[in-house]
Every structure is written in C-alpha cells, then in structure tokens.
Chains A and B, each alone.
Chain A
Amino acid sequence: MSKALNLLLGLATLVLAILYFSSRKQPEATATSGAAPSKAAADEEYVLIAVSVGNAYWIDARDGFNDAARNLGVQATFTGPQGSDVKQQVDLIETAITRGVKGLIVVPAEPEAVIPSINRAIAAGIPVITQDTDSPKSRRYTFIGTGNFEAGRLGGELLAKEIGGQGEVALLMIPGQWNLEERRRGYEAALGKHPEIKIVAVGNDQAEESQAAAQAKSILQAHPNLAGFGCVDASGGAGAAVAVRDAGKKGKIKIIAMDRNEATLDFVQQGFIQASLAQRSYTMSYLGLRMLHDLNHGRIKMVADWRAAKTCPLPALVDTGAVVITPENVQAFRHVK
C-alpha cells in the first residue's frame, strides 16, 4: 500500500503545481479575451438558479430566460438542486461565482441561508436578482415575483368565493418547503376571514400528481362533506381533480389549483378545476435577464456610473402579479395547442 501512497502524493503534488501555474496565467488570458468582443458576447453567461428543477413549473421561467438571452445574444444556463435543500443551491451559487458568470437570478430555497453567497456574488461584481422568493436581507438588487404569501392569499379568496363562504376545505402541498409554507400562510389568512370555513386537512403531495391523487382520495374518505381543495403547489391540482373525478363529484367539490402545467390546464378545461393561479414566471425571468444585461452594459443611466455611485438603478421590487386561469380563458395558456 505504501507504493500507492507514494503515487498518490506524487499525483497530488502534480495537481497542486498545475493549479498554481494555471491560476497565475489567468490575467493574461482575460486580456486576450477582451480583444475579441464577438467571442466575449458568446462568453457572457447568465445563470438562473432555481429549486426542485424537475418541476414542470420551470418550463415558463426557462422559456422566458432563454428568449431574453436569444434576443440579447448571450448565454443562458438554467440550473438548481433536484430537491429543495438550500445547501445544494448555495453550492451552485458559489460555483457560478468562481466561474465568473455575468449575472445571477436566484430563486432562494430559503431566504436567510442564501444571504452569505448572494452577498459574495455582489462583492465579486456579479449582479444578483431574486425571483419568486425574496431574500430581503441580502444585498440582491431586485426581487421579481408575485410574493408567495400574496399568491396564497389570492388562492384562498378564490376558494372561499367558489364554495360560497362556508364548508370544510383541505390543502395539498409539500410541508417544509419554504415558499409553499408562505403560500399556505396566505391561504390561511384569506380563509381565516370566513368563520364558516374550516381547514380540516393538509395533505403532502410530495410534488407528484399520483401522490396528490392518493392524498386527496384519503382526505375525501375522511371528510365526506369536503367542499373544496386549495392546491398550494403545482402538483396538487391534477391530483385533487383525479380524486374528485373518481368520487363522481365534479363541480360539487371545488378546486383552486396553482400554476399552468398541462395536466392542470386539462382539468380546468374539463371543468374539474374552477381556477388555477398562474404566476407570470415567464415574465419574471425574461425581465430579470434584461435587467441584469442593462446593468452590465450601463444602459440604465440614472447616474453616470452606478457602481461608483453605489446606487443600483433597478427598482427594489417588481410585482408581476398572478393570472387567474378559468375554463373561459384556458385555451390561450396551453403550451400544446
């Protein structure tokens, strides 16, 4: 084994030596890239770091991000952790900083935990915008989004109206995921204004339609008088609709869904889901990338040099609102026409 150890030490020394020399060469390389502006534009990379990237919710945000990048002729990269572990996300922010991207849009998995890494990016001269979920205590330049609490509150109001201000309701969500907990608080605030409405169950749909359907069916078994489902995340709507369809209670049990994935829109069209709340996630990342690009190229001339003046010309908050998708307007929102 000592032979292996020697080899190992030798290789380690070699790697360190390469590292040392390659990092010394860096300034030279930067100078050459400055001489070729066309190549520099292709090298201008913007990154959108999301959470739970497998979710269909990101289709719109990705489209907006890519469209903006195509219009501007820059690179767009979409990345993020599979789940909602903020540590994985912070790792990706740090990686983006060291590889010298030109701008970051972060969808914080948690507002507090991303503060150090967002601030590090700002300190390194990389502008950062938060999307969907804010990190108000960080040094990010702008927040673009609906605000999760507000989205939840709107959902709660719609649900209350649909069920006529009284009855038992259940929520479907993923407990523990920060942005959804915010939306739940919004739902609770809106429903709390109606003394005749009672939240009797909160189901865990594990971000999956089949799980959502199973949960919704169990909830229907336990609460036969249920008047409505409030779906806090994107997967709940289709799941609740399947449960309501199988129970033969179409239209009797009202469903308010979230977002605009195809499965949800199908059920809206068929009348199982009374309304789905879609955030303007396309607009969020489209605007976000444009703002970052404008900043980098000095196009917003509120002051001559915003970096020197230490004043960011971007708005502090951009509220993109929410769109209510109903059977009347659903056709316009379909991706597959």
Chain B
Amino acid sequence: MKNLIIATSLLALGTLGAVSPALVHEADCPYCKLKLVQNTNDKDNEVVVRFGNKKIEYRCIYCVFADQKKLTGDLIVYAPSEAAGKPVLVRRTGGNWTAPEGTVFLNAFRRHQECAGLSRTFSSKSAFDRYVAANNVANAKALTLKEMLAEVAKAN
C-alpha cells in the first residue's frame, strides 16, 4: 500500500490545479444545484435567506421562491439589488411575502445557468430599466412581488 500511495501521490500534483481556496463561499444552490455566483466589487449575486439560526444561500431570487416550501417560519431574504452592498430585504412573515415599496423583479432566464443574471431584484423601476438596457435583456418585464410569485408558482 505504501508504494502504491507514493505512486499515486505523484499524481496528486497533477490535480492541484483543480482545487481552489475559497475566498468566498463556493457552494451549490440548494434549489437549482448550480454553483453560487460570487459577489463582485460592483455587483452582488448571492441571495441570502435567514430564518431562525439558519443562513442559506441561493443563486437567484427565483430559486428562493421556488424552494420556499422547504424553509420553515419567517424569512428574511437579502436579495441583491442594482447596488452592491445594498440588498433589497424581502420578507415572509406568517406566510405572507412583502417587499419595500417600489421593488420590482426581473425574471427573464430560460435556463438556470442564466438565473443569477436574469432573475434579480431592484429597488425601483428606473434601476430595473438601467440594468435591462445595460445587459441587453430581451423581453424584460418589471414584475411586482405578487407577479413574480405567481410566475414562480406557475412554473412549478
């Protein structure tokens, strides 16, 4: 075994490139199972849900709404907005969802590989419009919270 180990240890050198220190939380989304997209200096991407002593991270706001039945009790969703470091706080209290006045949602992805960029939350319609224009999002519609929840429910 020892010799075999030595031989195989040489191989490990070749696999080091596949391992990366996690400067940020590199996990998979509990819903779509794809990797979380990390925050950057000028754009937040990770959607954080807090309830009780739990802190769960999702890839997009769609994934949170689609997975909400698994989450117990009252929720606070820290949804990335148009401004880094200034998430929109979406809450579920007693089963009812609320968001700050003026909040709108983008939900324009076709495949989950795109969900982090195309399922997002904005503090205002004007912020939504700027994001859609800057990213050339086709067929974008600014959804209210109620409309967003209805779209997610319809798709599941």
Asked if A and B are interacting partners, one says no
Interface residues of A (CB under 8 A from B): none
Which residues of B approach A to under 8 Å, CB–CB?
A: none
